[in-house]
Amino acid sequence: MSTLVEDNPAKRRFEILVDDALAGFTAYLTRGEVLVFTHTEVDPGFQGKGVGGALIRGTLDQVRARGGTLVPQCSFMAAFIEKHPEYADLVAVQP
């Protein structure tokens, strides 16, 4: 199973392709330089196969590579970051 996580700025979401098929996405809003992640969805045919985790990990790695920060309003992303504290530094400080 090959996976690829890509930003789709036109749709304001990061998407995961599994063997070239769209398997899920995590949607965001931009607030200045900060990405606010609002919702994550994995196609039912790909659930329970680690696709959601791969999507979030790939997204967070790309945010880090860009030097960005984020707000995880999406409960799935927030839970992932809580379980993987190596990504906690990406969370924007809220005033």
Could you read off the pLDDT of 54-89 as tens digits, one per residue?
999 999 999 999 999 999 999 999 999 999 999 999
pLDDT of residue 77: 98
| Contacts with 73 (C-beta within 8 Å, 6 or more apart), sequence order | 36, 37, 38
d(CA 5, CA 39): 16
Helical spans, DSSP H, in 1-95: 51-65, 75-83
| Helices and strands in the chain: count of H runs, count of E runs | 2, 5
Alpha-carbon dihedral sign for residues 5, 7, 91, 67 = positive
pTM: 0.94
Q: Which domains does the chain have, with CATH numbers?
A: 3-90 (3.40.630.30)
